[in-house]
Amino acid sequence: MPQLDELPPLIRQRVKALDAEIARLGALVAAGNRRVARYLELNTLEREILVAEYPPPPKRSRRWRFSSEFSGAAGIDTDGTLINEATYLPRPYTERLPCPDEMVWPHVEATWAARYAEQKATRLLGARKAVKTRAQRREKLIHETAARIVRDEQTGPANSCIICGKALDDPVSIARGIGSECWQHILAWITRNTDAAARAA
């Protein structure tokens, strides 16, 4: 993993901008603003990726575009002018001015890296959220099913587990509609809650 001061100046600039944003959002979250928590998480992850993976850009070419998953374009056009439609970095060459490659390339490179980090952070957060949502849904289902069992309601028979959807093959599982693994979670829930009820009484 490269140290911060080993990164190209434009990347360091981007990291510093992210640091400022992380500090600002962190203060807001600490003050109780929950709405910006996601942006704080996103920026923190983006910074991490940018520093850790600082991705080497594709080979220099006269014309280069981000792959289709990126909406912006950055590269050097056939007439030698810079294309930089991404918005992260200072853009001294925003207009299509002719300028030498060695002036342009660091910007192309930095834009690419910033884009890469942002896209990856967004994807990772999305995946993490999906895992959390699935876990929450399962937890809720276990809670509801356990409550039904406590009320002596039928949960089976079923050919697939009503909690996780796995196919059931043994007669006991089929009869209750719950696989043995999920059944353990149900029992744990019932134990926890009857204990809590007993303590409350």
- Contacts to Zn ion by CB under 5 A: 161, 163-164, 166, 179, 182
Q: How far is the CB of 70 from Zn ion (least distance, A)?
A: 40
Amino acid identity at 95: E
Q: How far apart are CA 125 and CA 14, in angstroms?
A: 20
For residues 53 and 24, give the distance between their C-alpha atoms in angstroms, rounded to a whole number.
24
Nearer to Zn ion, 94 or 184 (CB): 184
> Can you tell me whether residue 179 is helix, strand or coil?
coil
Residue number, 45 or 182, with CB nearest to Zn ion = 182
Tokens of 15: 């990291």
Q: Which helix (H) or strand (E) holds 29?
A: helix 9-30
State the minimum distance, in angstroms, from the CB of residue 22 to Zn ion: 40
Q: Is the dihedral of CA 89, 111, 3, 127 positive or negative?
A: positive
Minimum distance between the CB of residue 126 and Zn ion, rounded to whole angstroms? 26
Among residues 22 and 182, whose Cβ is nearest to Zn ion? 182
Nearest approach, Cβ of 170 to Zn ion (angstroms)?
12
Q: Tokens for 16?
A: 């510093």
Nearer to Zn ion, 29 or 164 (CB): 164
